[in-house]
Amino acid sequence: MALPFYGKKSILKLCEVYCGQKLPNIMCGIIGYIGHRQALPVVIKGLKRLEYRGYDSAGVALLETNNLKVYKKKGKVASLEEELIGKSLEGHIGIGHTRWATHGEPSDRNAHPHVSASGQLAMIHNGIIENYTSIKAELTQKGYSFKSDTDTEVLLNFIEEIKINNDCPLEEALRIALKRIVGAYCILLIDQNDPETILAARKGSPLVIGIGKGEHFLASDATPIIEYTKEVVYVNDYQIAIIKKDELVLKNLGNERQTPFITKLDMELAAIEKGGYEHFMLKEIFEQPTTINDCLRGRIHPQEGLITMGGVEAYIKNLKEAKRIIIVACGTSWHAGLIAEYLLEEYCRIPVEVEYASEFRYRNPVIHKGDVIIAISQSGETADTLVALENAKEKGALIFGVVNAVGSSISRMSHAGAYTHSGPEIGVASTKAFTGQLAILIMITLKLARALNTISTSDYKQLLQELADIPEKVARILENTDPIKAVAEKYKDASDFLFLGRGYNFPVALEGALKLKEISYIHAEGYPAAEMKHGPIALVDENLPVVFVATKDRYYEKIVSNVQEIKARKGKVICIVTEGDNIIPSMADDVLFVPDAPEALGPILSVIPLQLLSYYIGTARGLDVDKPRNLAKSVTVE
């Protein structure tokens, strides 16, 4: 049912029955258009916007008066565009797909759309059909052969086989097929004998339908739709959509009509364009003063000593009474969770556990009624996180989401939450979403600590004021990136890196290492600085750059000793230090300065040079930093 997810700009109330099934294995981006325009430009532009979801291959199917054309190509959308040169490209109906390979290697023949045996149907699919081998065997026995290795082609022919066998409309065949399959899907299906309709269905994988005047847009998320319309319908699991240019019908698998619930998008086109930057990643790093400010604005009131967060207020009793808080997340979001553990334990005195969602969901964890789970996710679609939450929710835990993507699955299944308001994050490596998550987690901590009376009024007020000053301090770091570029240039050919930090700076070290791995393909490890001597110190020699996150905090003296330990073994030491520090700069090979801040807020500042370091190393190595190999933005495969 309607789940409150409170933000400063809007109170989003999305009615959805959340189906409680095992959740998705979805990646890939899908796009569809039906209406008065030529479909291809809409589809290609949409694919480019969705490319961050996967870029192993891309393809389109166009339909115009009983003429179905399908073009597809291994590689990025740019390769598909080359493939389209000189081809017949007419069509007022179009579907397109950008793939992150699951079944079948990335290749032309495994690229979507797939065409049915008769040549009449074309389909794109985002998800995994888990029982496709048995269906394939059934179809093979009936004489079907397959052109690709994909589960999608199997599902498509299964639908066609049902249609022929039962002599029924395609919509009915689709319904029957979907009742038989196990797995996750978002599919768009077109029929050359019906050039007026797109059929769509979802379970697990997201689907948004944009409503225009005499036209409809379909996509995995709202980014390709926003420039045409702000009115969208989020399709729910087990719904089938029958879409014509001026009609949208939603039905459940029982063939009952359901009312489409129209949501207004709160997003501007500029937010999803590069805006003069060479890469989305760089743009998103530079947006941080604004995005952090957007996250704080309307929520913190330092003068009055107030924090307004509807989601926290609505569940303050549960939060105050929680015997423990479990934080569930993956990747960069998990690193934000680790910082939240330090914050919540220090200021609220509530025990906190931070869990990798992928482990938490499978290891039969102990969850009590009344436990509070904070789920952190940029996309709100990460499969492991989603399923972990499902399980915990069933056991009576309160789910509080810290999510960036408005209307995403995690935001809809949470009891309450807070949006980070970082805007669409297109660069595959997470940057601005991370600092947004930290800002939210700090606000939650302070608000809860205040309610619990576990923080002194002076500390509370000071932290609130310091938090308000953070966007301006981030802007100061971004004013002069030359020293970071110089460090990147100096170490770009290293084969390994070590990142070290203590206290709040330890998760920052982990995040610095993750960013570097993703963006530059350089092996990097993050470690607690003191733990280093229990093993990783053996790696240190004159070729190893060691990055210390060594800002002024309660561990400062100790980290100075750690720096010396590395120097004594001839390692190259690069330090992130607080402005005005002159001790570490006298011993390090390179230093990068960040403004002073209370240590609980320090990570929002110290992570910025690390984001830029990996960006500049990645670009210096000539890599595609927005689309690093093998990665995808929404990791919806378990």
The answer for residues whose C-beta is within 8 angstroms of residue 484's C-beta and 6 or more apart is 592, 609, 612, 613, 616
x/- map, 199-238, ligand F6R, by CB under 6 A: ----------------------------------------
Selected binder of ligand F6R within 57, 150, 220, 333 (CB under 6 A): 333
By CB under 6 A, tell whether 150 contacts ligand F6R.
Answer: no
Question: Shortest gap between Cβ of 361 and ligand F6R (angstroms)?
Answer: 13
Angle at 270 between CA 266 and CA 276, to 5 degrees: 160
**Does the protein bind ligand F6R through residue 98 (CB under 6 A)?**
no
242, containing H or E segment: strand 239-244
Nearer to ligand F6R, 171 or 626 (CB): 626
Contact 139, 130 (CB under 8 A): no
Q: Distance (Å, rounded) from C-alpha 160 to C-alpha 109?
A: 20
**Contact predicate 251/235, CB 8 Å:** no
Does residue 378 touch ligand F6R according to CB under 6 A?
yes
Determine contact, residues 377/388, Cβ cutoff 8 Å: no
Residue 330 or residue 566: which is nearer to ligand F6R going by CB? 330
Q: Using omega within 30 degrees of 0 as the cis cutoff, is the peptide bond preceding 113 cis?
A: yes
Query: Measured from the CB atom, is 111 or 510 closer to ligand F6R?
Result: 510
Closest CB to ligand F6R among 148 and 377?
Answer: 377
In this structure, which long-range contacts are made by residues 168-175, counting pairs with CB atoms below 8 Å and at least 24 apart in sequence? 170/121, 170/194, 170/199, 171/199, 171/240, 171/242, 172/255, 174/199, 174/201, 174/240, 175/240, 175/253, 175/255
- Tell me which of 73, 517, 552, 633 is the catalytic residue: 633
Nearest-CB residue to ligand F6R? 331
* Beta carbons within 10 angstroms of residue 69's beta carbon: 19
Angle at 553 between CA 552 and CA 554, to 5 degrees: 140
Gap between the Cα atoms of 98 and 310, Å rounded? 38
Under the binding rule (CB under 6 A), the answer on residue 422 touching ligand F6R is no
Options 152, 223, 332, 422; binder of ligand F6R; rule CB under 6 A: 332
The single residue among 288, 420, 430, 445 that binds ligand F6R, judged by CB under 6 A, is 430
Does residue 366 contact residue 321 with C-beta atoms inside 8 Å?
A: no
Q: Which stretch binds ligand F6R (CB under 6 A): 191-199, 326-334, 537-545, 595-603?
A: 326-334
Cβ 382 to ligand F6R, closest distance in Å?
A: 3
Task: Work out whether 354 is an interface residue with ligand F6R (CB under 6 A).
Answer: no
Active site residue 15: no
Only segment of 133-141, 329-337, 439-447, 595-603 that touches ligand F6R (CB under 6 A): 329-337
Q: Is 382 in the site for ligand F6R (CB under 6 A)?
A: yes
Radius of gyration of the chain (CA): 25
Shortest distance in whole angstroms from residue 435 CB to ligand F6R: 12
Asked if 611 and 480 count as a contact pair (C-beta separation under 8 A), the reply is: no
* Binds ligand F6R by CB under 6 A, chosen from 126, 197, 291, 385: 385
Q: Is 635 in the site for ligand F6R (CB under 6 A)?
A: yes
Q: Does 420 bind ligand F6R (CB under 6 A)?
A: no
- Decide if 186 is catalytic: no
Q: Which of 8, 28, 203, 295 is catalytic?
A: 28
- Looking at 110-150, list the stretches that DSSP marks H as alpha helix, in order from N- to C-terminal side: 132-141
Residue from 16, 64, 194, 518 binding ligand F6R (CB under 6 A): 518
Number of residues this chain uses to bind ligand F6R (CB under 6 A): 14
Q: What is the C-alpha separation between 70 and 47, in angstroms, rounded? A: 15
- In the complex with ligand F6R, which residue's Cβ is closer, 40 or 429? 429
E strands, 378-476, are 398-403, 416-419
Helix (H) or strand (E) holding 375: strand 372-377
Q: Name which of 188 and 373 has its Cβ closer to ligand F6R.
A: 373
- Interface residues toward ligand F6R, by CB under 6 A: 330-333, 377-379, 382, 385, 429-430, 514, 518, 635
Write out the catalytic residue numbers. Answer: 28, 633
